[in-house]
């Protein structure tokens, strides 16, 4: 085992171990799990990536069990697929779409295998898994010193929260995959550029925008919420959540564009980005900016000329 490969295995396994044993670290740190895999795939090639994946899943299985192995396995899948498609120089949109499809298929396969192993329906397996995570979250909030009144309210609302989360699980899987992919793309690009490693030229990301026809998906999802059918409402809600994540990326691209244009100092950028992360109102405002950019073109980007 080369020194670089050993470094990749140790870094990834250490990250998995910390996220497994320290729940608070896992809430944030797990987003970065795919980054070492992308970096060392670019540096050492596919065999090294496979070795890191196997070692990290073994670490998760040893420290946490099958559930943790499945969770980190999907995160590692994101890194592996991103590394492969980046090596093939696919476009940004195709890379992200392929990552989402891979995670969806892996999630469906994992749920199916788990349901067959337990001997219950896939829906019941998902519902039970969500219930267990909600109870663990409630215990974590208790350790964080949440007031007894707030804890009682959350405990009494667990059934409702569970049903809602089961209904929007497809959007949560896709949305979380998009967020992890976005973060890993930004971080791994910076690492690879600093080390002189090959990385696809996706162009200026602060000029990225969603395809204009996507706005009809938002309108259609909103219309489904008005249909007097639970299935239609759930479909519309799932659609809106996914589109909100996509337009959040467009809004963040606009924010980054104006930060660069106005030459905002680094410290101020960090503060403002932190404000977006912790303030829901500001976050929704960023989503709104990304959505309405379809009509207002805030960055005054040139639109491609129509053929003919």
Mean predicted lDDT score pLDDT of the chain: 90
Q: What is the pLDDT of residue 31?
A: 92
pLDDT at 11 over 50: yes
The single-letter DSSP state of residue 32 is G
Q: How many CA atoms are closer than 13 Å to the CA of 1, on its beta-carbon side? A: 12
Reduce the DSSP state of residue 202 to 3 states and report it. Answer: coil
Phi, psi of 285 (to 5 degrees): -65, -40
pLDDT at 128 over 90: no
The average pLDDT across 167-195 equals 94
Residues 129-150: tens digit of each pLDDT: 888 888 877 887 777 777 888 8
pLDDT at 25 over 80: no
Cα-based angle 137, 280, 205 (whole degrees, multiple of 5):
105
pLDDT top residue among 117 and 18: 18
> Cα–Cα distance between 36 and 21 in angstroms, integer?
20
pLDDT at 84 over 90: yes
CATH architecture, domain 1-119+168-201: Orthogonal Bundle (1.10)
Contact 36, 8 (CB under 8 A): yes
- Residue 185: how many other CB atoms lie within 10 Å: 23
Q: How many CA atoms are closer than 13 Å to the CA of 62, on its beta-carbon side? A: 10
List the domain boundaries for the chain: 1-119+168-201, 129-167, 204-298
């Amino acid at each position: 085992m080369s020194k670089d490969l050993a470094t990749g295995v140790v870094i990834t396994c250490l990250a998995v171990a910390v996220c497994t044993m320290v729940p608070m670290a896992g809430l944030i740190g797990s987003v970065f799990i795919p980054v070492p895999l992308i970096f060392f795939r670019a540096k050492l090639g596919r065999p090294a990536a496979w070795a890191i994946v196997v070692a990290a899943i073994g670490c998760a299985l040893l420290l946490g069990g099958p559930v943790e192995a499945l969770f980190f396995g999907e995160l590692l899948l994101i890194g592996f697929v991103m590394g492969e498609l980046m090596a093939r120089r696919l476009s940004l949109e195709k890379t992200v779409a392929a990552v989402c499809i891979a995670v969806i298929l892996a999630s469906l396969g994992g749920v199916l295998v788990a349901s067959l192993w337990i001997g219950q329906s896939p829906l019941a397996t998902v519902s039970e898994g969500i219930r267990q995570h909600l109870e663990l979250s409630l215990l974590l909030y208790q350790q964080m010193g949440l007031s007894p009144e707030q804890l009682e309210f959350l405990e009494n609302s667990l059934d409702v929260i569970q049903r809602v989360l089961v209904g929007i699980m497809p959007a949560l899987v896709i949305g979380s995959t998009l967020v992890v992919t976005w973060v890993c793309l930004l971080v791994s690009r910076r690492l690879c550029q600093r080390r002189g490693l090959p990385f696809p030229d996706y162009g200026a990301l602060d000029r990225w925008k969603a395809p204009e026809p996507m706005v009809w998906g938002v309108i259609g999802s909103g219309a489904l919420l008005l249909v007097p059918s639970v299935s239609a409402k759930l479909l519309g809600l799932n659609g809106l959540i996914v589109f909100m994540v996509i337009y959040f990326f467009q809004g963040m691209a606009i924010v980054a564009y104006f930060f660069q244009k106005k030459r905002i100092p680094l410290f101020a950028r960090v503060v403002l980005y932190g404000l977006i992360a912790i303030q829901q109102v500001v976050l929704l405002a960023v989503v709104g900016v990304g959505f309405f950019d379809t009509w207002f073109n805030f960055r005054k980007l040139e639109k491609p000329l129509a053929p003919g």
